[in-house]
C-alpha cells in the first residue's frame, strides 16, 4: 500500500509542477508579447497567430533555458514546438531532469 501511495504522491506532485510550469510560461508570453488586455489559453496558437515571431521565439528559448536550467537543441526548437503553451511545456518536459 505504501508503494502505491508513493506513486500517487509522485504523480500528483508531477502534475502540480507541470501546471506551475504551464502557468509560468503563459504569463511570460502574455507579459512579453501580447498587447495590454489580450489573453491566451494554453492552446492558443502563438506562432501561427502572430503573437510570437522568430525574434520572440529566440528570446523565449533563452528564457526557458535559463529558467529551467536546460539546453534545448536547435533541432528541437522549431516553430511547431513553440506554437502553444502546451507544446512549449511538452518541449521543456523533454529536457527537465536529463
CA 9 to chain centre: 23
Domain boundaries, the chain: 2-95
Report d(CA 41, CA 75) in Å as an integer.
Answer: 26
For the chain, what's the residue count?
98
| Predicted confidence (pLDDT) per residue in 37-56, tens digit | 999 999 999 999 999 999 99
Instruction: Look at the domain 2-95 and name its fold.
Output: 1.10.1200
| Predicted confidence (pLDDT) per residue in 5-23, tens digit | 444 445 545 555 888 999 9
Share of the chain above pLDDT 70, in %: 82
pLDDT at residue 98 is higher than 80: no
User: Rounded to 5 degrees, what are φ and ψ at 44?
Assistant: -60, 130
Do the beta carbons of residue 86 and residue 18 sit within 8 Å? no
Long-range contacts of 71-78 (CB under 8 A, 24+ apart): 71/95
* Neighbouring C-beta atoms of residue 28, cutoff 10 Å: 17
Amino acid at each position: 500500500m505504501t508503494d502505491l501511495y508513493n506513486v500517487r504522491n509522485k504523480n500528483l506532485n508531477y502534475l502540480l509542477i507541470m501546471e506551475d510550469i504551464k502557468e509560468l510560461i503563459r504569463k511570460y508570453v502574455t507579459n512579453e508579447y501580447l498587447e495590454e488586455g489580450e489573453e491566451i489559453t494554453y492552446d492558443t496558437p502563438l506562432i501561427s497567430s502572430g503573437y510570437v515571431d522568430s525574434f520572440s521565439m529566440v528570446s523565449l528559448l533563452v528564457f526557458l533555458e535559463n529558467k529551467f536550467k536546460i539546453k534545448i537543441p536547435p533541432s528541437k526548437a522549431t516553430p511547431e514546438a513553440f506554437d502553444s503553451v502546451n507544446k512549449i511545456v511538452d518541449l521543456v518536459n523533454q529536457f527537465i531532469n536529463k
